Structures are given as structure tokens and as C-alpha cells.
Amino acid sequence: MWQKIGKEIAIWRAGAMPGIAVIGLVFLARIFGGWEFLELTALDAFLRWRSPEPIDEEILIVGINEQDISSLESYPISDRKLANLITTIESYDPAVIGIDIIRDKPQEPGHAELTEVFSEYENIIGVEKILSGETGSRIDAIAPPKALPPEQIGFVDTLLDEDGNLRRSLLSAILNDELKFSLAIRLVEQYLETKNITLANAAEDPETMQLGKVRLTRVNPNTGGYINTDAGGNQILLNFRRGKDPFQTVSLADIDKGNFQPSWIEDRIVLIGITALSVRDDVNTNAVRSDNHGFIYGVEIQAHAVSQILNAVLNDRPLLWVWHDGWEYLFIFAWGFLGISLARIFNQSPWTLAVIISISSILAIAVCYLLLLQYGLWLPVVPAVLVLSINGVGLTASMFYRDRQNLKFQLKDRQYMIGYMSSTIHNRPIQTLKKILRDVQSHDVAEDWMVKELEVLNKELRDVGNLIEKETVTDGDRIHIGESEVDLQCSLKEILYQVYSNTITLDYPHFKTIKFKLVNFEDSINEAKLTVEQKRSLCRFLEEALINVGKYAEGVTRLKVVCQQQGERNIIRVEDNGVGLKQEDSKNQKAGGGTKQAKDLAKQLRGEFKRYSRQPKGTVCELTWSVNRSWFWQF
């Protein structure tokens, strides 16, 4: 059990490290903004995929469209016309009116009339622009209407991301030591005062706004997928209202003609703005479905900003929020580790693994989507799916191929073992049995001689049985040599020396005549990139070469074993001074099981196997392979 646990730990240590490295690289790329565009695009897609919501009945948009501008015969709309529009709307008792139309200068005729209307009603909110240049607006800052006091002024600046899309709402900012509020906050504040809900600072964070029990979660430079973004002022993420027509909208002509329900205005928030493409008061966003190729009007943006806050306070509709950075990275790591785990479990079936990883990726997307839909939680779906896919499929493809190659090596080793067992049976018990049969048939034999020969046969058969049993239960990272097991996780020098030590003590006749042993196992032998199965094959090669000496090297008195690196090549050589190879065997190199295995191993290592006679007598068995090229055949 502990061997299996140790082996599994070794597999995880080897297989998981590349996966952990991939997760680290994804982390690093995210820290430097590598996934920002994709994460923001994913957020847009999630918001756009949501099913439509009912029209927000708390808000009415009065949009001055192309037909209204044509009927006015001039633009901008005059102060008189705007004053009449406000007066008409006020007659239906709205809670508050937001005028998303610039009035920094008089637009005669009717400026005096508009000034009088502004002075008469305290529920009117005018607008200004406070940001200049490229930071938030396409035009310079614009002053508010002079007739309105500061508490009835809200700015309408928008903060566009680098891809030109709107995803954030600026609620407040400090300009020249003066705190400014947005039109959306001004409208929400006045509307909720009628319901005894006031705007305050959150106790935990004084810079965070709070309405009732709802805190308006602030955007920081690294919120969600944002990396080092401009988080100046007080910003929140825009949770756009879902649907193609999220707000009741009427035109200027509809108000003039009475084509509306009074209930649309009474105690509601009314927003007056431009809904004509020719005026270009619009903003680009991919988070909502639009007939204008992703553009929505500025007055609609204000309606979305107002609606999300109101519904969060009154109807528990979630605002968009994110986890702390640490939890986000833990979330990404978890999906990356899942990819590693699935690769480990299903690595024997690449198609099954591909299907499982695909299902898991869809699950990750679904989890992130549902959490956004239900709770407004924006999670890092792009890096999560990325590490899951890379660790599960891309990275594991090479691991699977390596495992398949190892399996081939294991099969070849088992085939060799079958041949090895067959050879052992043939050379020992079968030969002994033949000898007994031959002697019995040729002449009478003594009973004690027969008993002795049968005992030898019995021992040889038992030895073969024990060898088969030991090889059957030997762990995959170990090999049975002689009476001992060799751990293939050790250094190659140590492994080969154990093979030599265990083999030379076996009971083969010609080992007994050896008087001199020259052994050279150097640390310099290079084992880089060798797999466990290749080490196993090297052990079998050395064992076979030594056994051949013990079985066939008649008259041997000297044995030389060399395992070292010579130049750019590794070498394993076994030399003896026995009778040597017969001339025809040396020439033809007829291959038994061991010779065939040695040639296969040389081919795998892009090396060379040779067995030849030496002068004046003896045999050399040698395997060499390149240090620099052996790694290629591992994959």
C-alpha cells in the first residue's frame, strides 16, 4: 500500500508541476493585464445573455427624437420649449425630473421663462460636465444652468474603458475641493427621500455610499478583470437592466399631444434627453441589446444608472460586485487543479478526457454566469477556463503520449520476461531432464545418482516458479534481479551496480572459474531524460550479458564490466576471456530473446548494440547511446 501511495505521489509530483507552472503563468499574465480585454468581453456577454426584465415603471424617459427635431425646425431646443415641456410634466406630479440637456448658455427665445421654471420647482435636476479631454468625455467640461442651486445639479460624465465601451458609472468626484454628485445619484436621492431613505456614508468605509441597507460597492483599480484602471472618484459597475426596451419612453410630440398615461409620470422619475442619432449623444456598450449597433443614448445610460440603484434598494436586485483578489486567484487555481486531476484520472483515454474537460469548461462558464445572474457576482471565468483547458488537454497530451510509450516499453519488457523464463526453463530444468532421460535410456543408473539428479531438477523448477512469482508481484518502479529487488528510482550508477552484484552471485557454472573482476561504474554516466522503463531495459541488458558469461563462457578467468560516459556517449560493456563466439554466430549475430531485446533498446535510445569476439579469445557485449539525443525518444 505504501509503495502504491509513494508511486502515486511521485506521479503527481512529476505531472502536477507543469500544471502548477501553467497556473502561475496565467496568474502572471492576469497581474499584467493579459486577460483584461477577454474578461471584460465575457462580462458583456453574460449581461447580454440574460433574459429580459419587465419595464422599470419607476422611470419615464422623454426622448427628443429625430421627428421632434424636424418639427422644431431648429436645434438645440429653445428655452421656451423646454420650459413648456417641464411645466406640462410638473402638472402630473412627478417625484423628480432630470434634464439631461446642456443649458450652460441661454437658448432664446424663452430664457427668462426657463429661469422662472427652475426657480419655481425644487424637484428639477440640471446637468453639467466636469471632466475634460480624453479621461471621460469627448468634449470639454460644461457649466451647469446658472438658475439652479448646487444641490440641484448633477454631472453626466461617462467613463469609457480602453475598448471604448461603458461598464462603470461615476457617482461622485471631487473637483477643486468641491464634492460633485452625478445626475443618477441626485435623482435617486430625491426619489428615495419620499420613501424616508437617505443617502449616507457606509460605517465600514466612509468613502462608500449607502442607501438604507444597501452599500454601493466601489470600483478599485483591480476590481474583477480590471488591471490598474483609473478608479478616481466614486465608481460602481453598471448592472444594466435587461431587455431591448427596459424603460417606458415617449417623445416630445407625445407629451404635447397627451399620448401617455398620467400614471407614467405621477410619483415617478422623469428623464428628459436626446434620442436622435444625428445629435450623437450616445455611448457604446456591448452589455445590452440595441438597435443602434451597440450604441445607447446618454439619457438611457442615466436611466440604467438610476434603475440599478433604485432596484437594489427597493427590490433587492443585485449590484455587480467581485471577490477579494485572493479569493479570485484561489478560484482560478481550483479550476486549474481540477484540470490536472482530470488529466490524471482519464489520461488513458484522450477522447474521454477531451469530453470531460469540455463538460467541465461549460460547467465553469455556467457557474460564473449563474452567480452573476443570481447574485451579481463577477468571477474570473476566462482565466479559470483557460487553466482548466490547458492543464486538462493541452498539457496532458504529451503526458498521455509518454504514458503510452511507457506502456509499450512495459509490454516489451513483459515479452522479454516471457522469453527469459522460457530460456531459463529450457537451459536448466529441461536440460537436466534430458540428461536424466538420456542416462536412464543408455544404461542402468544407481538409485542414489537418480535421487541426486531429481533433487537438482526439483530445485531448478522451484527456482523458476519463485522467479515467476516474484516478477508478478514486483512494483512497476522495481525490478527483480537474482534474489533481490532493485529500485529503479535510484541513480543509474547505483541501479546498474546492484544488477551486477546480484547477478554475479547466481549459481551459473562459469562464474565459479572467474579469478579477476575489473568493474568500473562511474558517476559520469548520464541518465538525463531516461524513463523508468528505459532504466528497466538497461538492467535487463546488463543482466543478460552477465548471465551469458555464466552460462557459455567456458574457461573464463577474467571479467570486465564498464558502465560510464565516454565523450558524448554512454556505454555499458561486458567483456570475458572465455572460449568466445563461434565464427558463424559472430558473423550472423543470430538473435535469441536477449539479443532481440538489446537491439530494440538500442533503437529506442538511438544507440548501437554489438556482440563480437575479441582476440585471442573472449567475447564483448556492448551497448552505447548518445547523451545528447536520448531524450528525443522519450516523447
Domains in the chain: boundaries = 2-32+323-395, 51-315, 474-634
For cell 455611448, the residue is 283
pLDDT (average), residues 540-567: 88
Q: What is the mean pLDDT of residues 552-571?
A: 90
Neighbours of 607 (CB within 10 A): 19
| pLDDT, tens digit (0-9, with 9 covering 90-100), for 291-313 | 666 788 999 999 999 999 999 99
Can you say whether the dihedral through the CA atoms of 518, 486, 573, 583 is positive or negative? positive
Of 619, 608, 622, 555, which Cα lies nearest the Cα of 582?
619
What distance separates the 2 farthest-apart alpha carbons in the chain?
Answer: 145
Please state which of the ranges 8-12, 158-162, 217-221, 323-327 shows the lowest mean pLDDT. Answer: 8-12
The alpha-helical segments, DSSP class H, found in 235-324 are 252-257, 298-315
The per-residue pLDDT for 311 is 95
Q: How far is CA 409 from CA 114, 538, 606, in A?
A: 91, 12, 15
pLDDT at 138 over 50: no
Which of 422-431, 453-462, 549-558, 574-583 tops mean pLDDT? Answer: 549-558
DSSP state of 391: I
Question: In the structure grid, which three cell numbers stand for residue 178, read together?
Answer: 468641491
Q: What is the pLDDT of residue 586?
A: 46
Tell me what the pLDDT averaged over the chain comes to.
84
3-state secondary structure 127-179: EEECCCHHHCCCCCCECCCCCCCHHHEEECCCEECCCCCEEEEEEEEEECCEE
β-pairing verdict for 96-99 and 124-128: parallel
pLDDT-derived band of residue 548, with 50, 70 and 90 as boundaries? Answer: confident
Q: What is the pLDDT of residues 351-378, one digit of tens each?
A: 788 889 999 999 999 999 999 999 999 9
**Tens digit of pLDDT for each residue in 392-433?**
876 555 555 555 556 666 666 666 666 556 656 655 666 567
User: Which pLDDT score is estimated for 631?
Assistant: 36
State the pLDDT confidence band at 281, using cuts at 50, 70 and 90.
confident
Asked if the model's pLDDT at residue 545 lies above 60, the reply is yes
Q: Model confidence at 461, in pLDDT bands (50, 70, 90)?
A: confident
Q: 54-105: per-residue pLDDT in tens?
A: 999 999 999 999 999 988 877 889 999 999 999 999 999 999 999 999 998 9
Residue of 104, 202, 191 lying closest to 156 (CA atoms) = 104
Return d(Cα 101, Cα 607) in angstroms, integer.
83
Q: In this structure, what are the phi and psi dihedrals at residue 355, rounded to the nearest 5 degrees?
A: -65, -45
196 DSSP 8-state letter: T
CATH architecture under which domain 474-634 falls? 2-Layer Sandwich (3.30)
